[in-house]
Structure 1
């Protein structure tokens, strides 16, 4: 027994836009431009959540040191000839970093306060260094 007795809407026809609203060309331009932004590739990245007006994509990350960025570029240059033979597409990251969080939406007017909060929390914790060991003999 179903909790709610709703009919399926799959067979229903889609509603058409009333003629009086079709005359708003400015809205048509605005919304079609927004749709293009959502579907066009931006730096070969895929959105992990839908675009909502007023939301900004946010994350916490540590930028890679310059010497690590150079190492990443050397590795990419070394394997690139092999990757070109693959059917998949590969893209290099312009600014290598270590992501500490997933990307999430945040309202624009919350960004400064959130950044101050993260800076405060980070400054109150003890710093330590990570050193990578040489893997090759």
Structure 2
């Protein structure tokens, strides 16, 4: 019986030092009105997958040809595109998602830019 208890205690110690849990998923919402671009707050990831869902509503009667959803990194005082994807905008609204891939490490933000001002746009960037 002592041997069983000893093995159980050793197993619990190993699990506490090396948990078998995955990384929790986090998300950041961001939005704006009557503007041509919005950006999320910054976030830091280590070997994560990153994707962004978005929704864009053009101003009534105005044509918006496209938008760019970009994953940007901070380097030497400015933001630079790490990965980006052009998406099309239709009236009355357009939504979708962009998957930036996995195994990404660094400090980033997501920026959505339109070819002209829109009534509203929003995004949720998720990473795990």
TM-score (norm 1): 0.23
Which gives a bigger RCO, structure 1 or 2 (Cα 8 Å, sep 6+)? 2
User: TM-score of the superposition, structure 2-length normalised?
Assistant: 0.25
Greater fraction helix: 1
From the two aligned structures, give the one with the greater strand fraction: 2
The structure with the largest alpha-carbon Rg is: 1
